[in-house]
Amino acid sequence: MIYEMIRAGSFPPPYKITPATARWSDREITAWIDEVKDGFEGKKRKV
């Protein structure tokens, strides 16, 4: 599901470290969580 969301532009893409290794930026993931979540349990929008 993550890669479908990346293709749709609704989730930040990973950075390739090596051809077999990818990592996500913790800042980008935190910003994505802040955008999606409203408080601890409520969602602002569908993912």
pLDDT in tens, the chain (47 residues): 999 999 999 999 999 999 999 999 999 999 998 888 765 555 555 55
Answering whether pTM is above 0.85, one says no
Provide the domain limits for residue 22.
2-43
Q: How far apart are CA 44 and CA 29, in angstroms?
A: 16
Which residues are bridge partners to 37 per DSSP? 43
Write down the pLDDT at residue 39.
58
Write down the pLDDT at residue 9.
93
Write down the pLDDT at residue 36.
82
Write down the pLDDT at residue 46.
59
- Are 45 and 36 in contact by the 8 Å Cβ rule? The answer is yes
Domain count within the chain: 1
Q: Which run of H or of E encompasses 13? A: none
